[in-house]
């Protein structure tokens, strides 16, 4: 875990991208302190707190969750006195993911299904025991503006892009944006509830804020080249998926066919299965929050990875 000072009294805590769950967090160290996102389990969130404790005067009095995925909010309970802030749709979706299920998957290394065994291996560094869900109780609809002892903090709703309840955190004077998973940097994005159009528009909103430093949900710090490259990826995958859909290919066959070109170096390229599936859902005219068969997606990712290894 790396603490980076990115503005006056503003910090990012970055986890090196090692695949599933290695998310980033932020701290505005003024006006009682505001933390942007906690981590996926209690041990990693304790480490996050120890990292921030090197610079803060006391535990943060506010936590913002950029969205409901566990790797951004399952450490909330360790900020026991803090006000938890998030979008109304983030709070509504909070129980969609279950720590007990994740712990079961993590312990399934001996599973007869190779895809589940591989997922268990990918989860080995995490410990989902003891997690209680603490959803946001201060709810955002479109925007919430805070002033933390002279640092203006704007929470803006930009979903449904990566999930239904995506919020970004903008510090206009500092020219900093914490994007949550609206931006993945140098790692392949996964989208849940949302549309390509809204996601691309959300990235446009980030670019329009003219930030100097962007803290992505996953991956290293960047400037506006980050959202620009991700937009190009989304547009490219959507166009390629559309061709495959027209020729009747399955999601997995489409994902196998798409040449990743400049994006092949991003970590976990097999996550493209999620984007192709999203494109297919849109082409079938389904709503942005149509249910996703998550286990089928992970099975598809597993098969795609294997086909690439043995190509």
The residues binding Zn ion (CB under 5 A) are 23, 69, 71, 181, 217
Rounded to the nearest angstrom, the gap between the alpha carbon of residue 168 and the centroid of all alpha carbons in its chain is 11
**Distance between CA 243 and CA 137 in Å, rounded?**
44
Instruction: Tell me if 163 sits within 8 A of 90, measured CB to CB.
Output: yes
In the complex, least distance from residue 177 CB atom to Zn ion, rounded to whole angstroms: 16
| Residue in 202, 203, 204, 209 with CA at minimum distance from that of residue 152 | 209
In the complex, least distance from residue 32 CB atom to Zn ion, rounded to whole angstroms: 26
In the complex, least distance from residue 218 CB atom to Zn ion, rounded to whole angstroms: 6
Q: Which two tokens stand for residue 172?
A: 């206009």
Element at 217 (helix H, strand E):
strand 213-218
**Of 217 and 300, CB closest to Zn ion:** 217
In the complex, least distance from residue 181 CB atom to Zn ion, rounded to whole angstroms: 4
**Of 39 and 196, CB closest to Zn ion:** 39
**Of 216 and 300, CB closest to Zn ion:** 216
**Of 71 and 270, CB closest to Zn ion:** 71
In the complex, least distance from residue 69 CB atom to Zn ion, rounded to whole angstroms: 5
130: left (phi over 0), alpha (psi -120 to 50) or beta: left
| Residue in 86, 92, 60, 61 with CA at minimum distance from that of residue 73 | 86
In the complex, least distance from residue 217 CB atom to Zn ion, rounded to whole angstroms: 5
**Distance between CA 169 and CA 175 in Å, rounded?**
11
Strand partners, 14: 2
Residues in the chain: 311
Instruction: Tell me if 198 sits within 8 A of 159, measured CB to CB.
Output: yes
**Cα–Cα distances in angstroms (integers) from residue 275 to residues 116, 240, 278, 282, in the given order:** 21, 11, 5, 11
Convert 50-106 into a string of H (helix), E (strand) and C (coil). HHHHCCCCCCCCEEECCCCCHHHCCCHHHCCCCEEEEEHHHHHCHHHCCHHHHHHHH
In the complex, least distance from residue 40 CB atom to Zn ion, rounded to whole angstroms: 8
**Of 191 and 217, CB closest to Zn ion:** 217
In the complex, least distance from residue 110 CB atom to Zn ion, rounded to whole angstroms: 27
**Of 41 and 240, CB closest to Zn ion:** 41
**Of 30 and 269, CB closest to Zn ion:** 269
**Of 29 and 66, CB closest to Zn ion:** 66
In the complex, least distance from residue 283 CB atom to Zn ion, rounded to whole angstroms: 26
**Distance between CA 228 and CA 225 in Å, rounded?**
5
**Of 69 and 299, CB closest to Zn ion:** 69
């Amino acid at each position: 875990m790396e603490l980076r000072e990115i503005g006056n009294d503003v910090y990012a805590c970055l986890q090196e991208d090692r695949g599933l769950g290695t998310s980033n967090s932020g701290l505005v160290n003024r006006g009682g302190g505001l933390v942007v996102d906690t981590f996926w389990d209690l041990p990693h969130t304790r480490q996050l707190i120890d990292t921030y404790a090197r610079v803060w005067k006391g535990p943060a009095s506010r936590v913002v969750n950029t969205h409901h995925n566990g790797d951004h909010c399952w450490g909330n309970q360790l900020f026991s006195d803090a006000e938890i802030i998030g979008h109304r749709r983030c709070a509504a979706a909070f129980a969609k993911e279950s720590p007990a299920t994740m712990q079961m998957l993590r312990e399934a290394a001996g599973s007869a299904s190779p895809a589940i065994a591989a997922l268990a291996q990918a989860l080995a560094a995490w410990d989902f025991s003891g997690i209680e869900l603490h959803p946001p109780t201060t709810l955002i609809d479109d925007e919430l503006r805070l002033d933390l002892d002279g640092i203006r903090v704007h929470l803006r709703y930009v979903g449904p892009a990566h999930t239904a309840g995506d919020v970004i955190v903008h510090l206009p004077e500092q020219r900093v944006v914490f994007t949550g998973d609206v931006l993945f940097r140098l790692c392949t994005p996964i989208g849940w509830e949302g549309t390509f159009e809204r996601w691309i528009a959300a990235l446009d909103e980030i670019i329009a804020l003219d930030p100097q430093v962007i803290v992505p949900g996953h991956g290293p710090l960047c400037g506006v080249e980050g959202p620009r490259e991700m937009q190009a990826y989304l547009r490219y995958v959507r166009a390629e998926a559309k061709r495959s859909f027209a020729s009747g290919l399955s999601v997995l066959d489409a994902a196998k066919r798409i040449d990743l070109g400049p994006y092949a170096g991003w970590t976990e390229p097999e996550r493209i299965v999620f984007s192709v599936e999203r494109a297919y859902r849109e082409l079938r005219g389904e709503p942005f929050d149509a249910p996703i068969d998550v286990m089928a997606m992970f099975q598809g990712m597993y098969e795609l990875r294997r086909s690439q290894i043995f190509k």
